[in-house]
Chains A and B, each alone.
Chain A
Amino acid sequence: GDSVTQTEGQVTVSESKSLIINCTYSATSIAYPNLFWYVRYPGEGLQLLLKVITAGQKGSSRGFEATYNKETTSFHLQKASVQESDSAVYYCALRSSSSFSKLVFGQGTSLSVVP
């Protein structure tokens, strides 16, 4: 089946430093799935951070960016300079069905940005 694997557990980064959260996917039901990054801030639900529908393109939002790489089946999330307000849990996801927004999520990566 379809699956998403991302950087495990908790990541701690100092404020103003760069961030990368790795995400790789395996899609068996569709050749080029749509790819997403969702974020969940403490006490809140999932929010869409960015999405890329077309292989080879880059998505960006709030200083975060991710490039859809079909050769390496990756969709790593990067930010050049993180802030404390970026502390949250980040989920990489793929949409495996062309007929419905069925999302398959990674296990989540908890980001803690420290002063």
Chain B
Amino acid sequence: GALVYQYPRRTICKSGTSMRMECQAVGFQATSVAWYRQSPQKTFELIALSTVNSAIKYEQNFTQEKFPISHPNLSFSSMTVLNAYLEDRGLYLCGARVGGGRAAETLYFGSGTRLTVL
């Protein structure tokens, strides 16, 4: 089956520093990856959509300058939170879309990276 590994599971960084999280697809080709954030007391909010060999599309309120994403191949994607501050804390999830056709209608998620900012 489709598996998505995300690491680290938890991370703590000082205010103003940066941290990188990674997403690995196992057993399938992740043609597209979506990065989400769940801030405290909120639901999951889309940060950006990334498709291999295409421009990354960021949602309103999220920018490449703040959340640069790399998606170099069909099994790996990473996102960095630059200059993290208190409002960036939360659970970050990557969701990978499997190939094409009807299977592509489903996103498979990793277990998330929980970011704490001190």
Q: Please report whether the interface of chain B is mostly helix, strand, loop or mixed according to DSSP.
A: strand
CB-CB nearest in chain B for A48: B106
Asked if B61 is at the interface of the complex by the 8 Å CB criterion, the answer is: no
Interface string of B12-44 (1 = CB under 8 A from A): 000000000000000000001010100000111
Contact indicator A45/B34 (Cβ below 8 Å): no
Instruction: Choose, from A22-30, A73-81, A94-102, the stretch at the interface.
Output: A94-102
How many angstroms from the CA of A71 to the CA of B3 in the assembled complex? Answer: 36
A53 at the A/B interface (Cβ < 8 Å)? yes
Q: Are B111 and A45 in contact (CB under 8 A)?
A: yes
| B93 within 8 A of partner (CB) | yes
Give the residues from 60 to 115 in chain A that come closer than 8 angstroms, CB to CB, to chain B: 91, 95, 100-108
- Please report the C-alpha to C-alpha distance between residue A59 and residue B109 in the assembled complex, in whole angstroms: 20
B89 within 8 A of A: no
Q: Are A103's CB and B43's CB within 8 A?
A: no
In this complex, which of A51, A91, A101, A107 has the most chain B Cβ atoms within 10 angstroms of its Cβ?
A101
The count of chain B contact residues (Cβ–Cβ below 8 Å) is 24
Report yes or no: A101 in contact with B97, Cβ–Cβ below 8 A. yes
Assembly CA distance A104 to B59 (angstroms): 12
Q: A100-B97, A103-B34 are in contact. Are A46 and B43 (CB under 8 A)?
A: no
Residue in A closest to B60 when the chains form the complex, CB atoms: A1
A101 touches B106 (CB 8 A): yes
Known A45-B93, A46-B93, A91-B44; judge A34-B111 contact (CB<8 A): no
Is the pair A45, B105 in contact by a Cβ cutoff of 8 Å?
A: no
Residues from chain A with Cβ under 8 Å of B102 in the complex = 53
- List which A13-38 residues lie within 8 A (CB) of chain B: 34, 36, 38
Q: Do residues B109 and A101 form an inter-chain contact, with CB atoms below 8 A?
A: no
Sorted nearest first, the 4 A-B pairs with minimum C-beta distance are: A45-B111, A46-B109, A105-B44, A107-B43
Q: Please list the residues of chain B having a beta carbon within 8 angstroms of any beta carbon in chain A.
A: 4, 6, 32, 34, 36, 42-44, 46, 49, 51, 93, 95, 97, 102, 104-112
